[in-house]
Chain A
Amino acid sequence: MTGTSSTESPMQHTPLYDSHVRLGAKMAEFGGWSMPIAYPTGTIAEHLACRSDAVMFDVSHLGTVRVAGARAFEQLQSALSNDLRKIGPGRAQYTHLLDEADGSVLDDIIVWWVDDDVFDVMPNASNTDRVVAAIGGRDTTSGRAVIAVQGPNAHAQLAELCPAAADVGRFRVQRVIWQGNELMVAGTGYTGERGVEIAVPAGAAERLWDELAAAGVMPAGLGARDTLRLEAGLPLHGHELGPGITPLQAGLGWVIGWNKPSFRGREALAREQAAGIQRRLVGIATQGRRPPREHSDVRVDGQTIGSVTSGNYSPTLEHGIALAFVPPEVVLGQAVTIDVRGSDLPGTVTATSFLP
């Protein structure tokens, strides 16, 4: 596979790029795209608005790969880890593309099962080429924007402009017509809150964004999206998932369709399952506001037992939180320290989700 790195080509712009610049967003490169990290409201205010009200994110940098036709179902069943027979048309499923050799996670993906033989597969931004190579299909990323509307009031505020979209329930997928445009709406997200993700034709994206803002939905950047997903214990590819990390280690055994006779990476996972995992993902709640950070050592009685994969300050809990890989025998409640550039940050091992 050839593929081009983001540094070789100019940064891509989403259909909402001009809106972000107009709103005064701080833009930064993410997976080859110029994306809003925070608006002038700031990451913490955006984060808290998602927990208490509703926010919207431009997530157009996620890929969309349309896989359609009589063979589509079988193509996905054999390439991806989860079992589509658990769901059906009109539903969405979280799944992994695994490395055949060691079962590590090449990408984590949401599949929107649109119609009997039509699937929209959504990889992470930088992995789209890799996913197309594995499962085929057509990259339709450039024709649409994707807006995630998330928060306890997400559905109520969305109902003000598009009641049909607001009716889409958790992990449901529905075509909706809005002002003559076909939207694809899924009850999915990456914040731990209720909400939907809406694929909208590129030409109508700005109008939808503006009408959501008028309904009271606050724009939020990728900074808040990261602290929100971390509080919810949701993995980020390149941190909790990636080369050398299997779904079993990440505590995501439920994405493995063991009832399928074969899928890419099945043998490697079966071997790991039989031998027992060597490490597992846990949460660590730290004392005080100081953020633990990625790559920091996790220690028990001065001995390094693991490493932080993501860490930050939790705006909801008002203390530090981290995800880390530790040996499988480490139990919840274990007292640990995290090395922060030479000083010890005390913490306690928890479940991966920090939300009640």
Chain B
Amino acid sequence: MTTPAEHLRYTTDHEWVDVRGATIRLGITDYAQDALGDVVYVASPTIGAVVTPGDSLGEIESTKSVSAIYAPVSGTVVAVNSQLAGQPDLINSDPFGEGWICELELSEPDQVATLLTEAAYCAITTS
């Protein structure tokens, strides 16, 4: 399993954000996938969708519950992980790598600064 790299940013909804210039890639954290249990279905966002922070980007369903995916920042969906349609369990086995969910092109790059650092996120999950 990939471990969270220090350059990642996080949200209180247990998502990770990998900032790559004008775009970000996002997924859910290892903590989140463990809490969900075996993921059986991912309702992925639509390419071209325009979102602002807190908007729904889709849903992740496990054998025991359903969890929403929220947009951490404003932007346009430019890529989705098509592998998740047939292998949603990639979210369990490799949440920071092959289990990524989608990519957004940032419309307000400054919003990245509002995301949590790794230290701040770890403080949430261990409290």
The reply on B32 being an interface residue by CB < 8 A is no
Q: Which residues of A contact B (CB under 8 A)?
A: 26, 37-38, 42-44, 223, 227, 288-291, 293, 312-313, 315, 341
Bound-complex Cα distance A43 to B41 (A) = 14
Within 8 Å by CB of B40, from A26, A289, A341, lies A289
Within 8 Å by CB of A44, from B40, B41, B59, lies B40
The reply on B66 being an interface residue by CB < 8 A is yes
Bound-complex Cα distance A319 to B43 (A) = 15
Residues of chain B with a CB closer than 8 A to A293's CB: 66
Bound-complex Cα distance A44 to B89 (A) = 10
Within 8 Å by CB of A291, from B61, B89, B92, lies B61
Residues of chain B with a CB closer than 8 A to A42's CB: 37-38, 92
With A289-B88, A290-B43 as contacts: A26 and B61 at CB distance below 8 Å: no
Q: Which residues of B contact A (CB under 8 A)?
A: 37-38, 40-41, 43, 59, 61, 63-64, 66, 88-89, 92
A43 near B43 with CB under 8 A, answer: no
A312 near B37 with CB under 8 A, answer: no
Within 8 Å by CB of B37, from A38, A291, A341, lies A38
Q: List 13 A-B contacts (CB under 8 A).
A: A42-B37, A43-B37, A43-B64, A44-B38, A223-B63, A289-B40, A291-B63, A291-B66, A312-B63, A313-B41, A313-B61, A313-B63, A315-B63
Nearest 8 CB-CB pairings of A with B: A313-B40, A289-B41, A43-B63, A44-B38, A290-B41, A42-B38, A43-B38, A291-B61
- CB-nearest residue of chain A to B66: A293
Residues of chain B with a CB closer than 8 A to A315's CB: 63
B40 near A291 with CB under 8 A, answer: yes
With A43-B63, A223-B64 as contacts: A37 and B37 at CB distance below 8 Å: yes
Q: Which of B37, B40, B92 has the most CB of A within 10 A?
A: B40
- CB-nearest residue of chain A to B88: A289
Taking the nearest CB of chain B, how far is it from the CB of A61, in angstroms?
A: 17
Residues of chain B with a CB closer than 8 A to A341's CB: 59
Bound-complex Cα distance A37 to B63 (A) = 11
Residues of chain A with a CB closer than 8 A to B40's CB: 44, 289, 291, 313
- CB-nearest residue of chain A to B89: A44
Residues of chain A with a CB closer than 8 A to B66's CB: 291, 293
- CB-nearest residue of chain B to A318: B40
Bound-complex Cα distance A38 to B66 (A) = 17
Bound-complex Cα distance A258 to B38 (A) = 44
Bound-complex Cα distance A242 to B51 (A) = 43
Taking the nearest CB of chain B, how far is it from the CB of A142, in angstroms?
A: 28
Taking the nearest CB of chain A, how far is it from the CB of B1, in angstroms?
A: 13
Taking the nearest CB of chain B, how far is it from the CB of A47, in angstroms?
A: 8
Residues of chain A with a CB closer than 8 A to B61's CB: 290-291, 313
- CB-nearest residue of chain A to B56: A341
Q: A289-B40, A290-B43 are in contact. List 10 more A-B contacts (CB 8 A).
A: A38-B38, A42-B37, A42-B92, A43-B38, A223-B64, A290-B61, A291-B61, A291-B66, A313-B63, A341-B59
A227 near B88 with CB under 8 A, answer: no
Bound-complex Cα distance A44 to B66 (A) = 16
Residues of chain A with a CB closer than 8 A to B89's CB: 44
- CB-nearest residue of chain B to A293: B66
Bound-complex Cα distance A183 to B59 (A) = 46
Residues of chain A with a CB closer than 8 A to B92's CB: 42
- CB-nearest residue of chain A to B59: A341
- CB-nearest residue of chain A to B92: A42
Bound-complex Cα distance A223 to B38 (A) = 10
Bound-complex Cα distance A42 to B61 (A) = 14
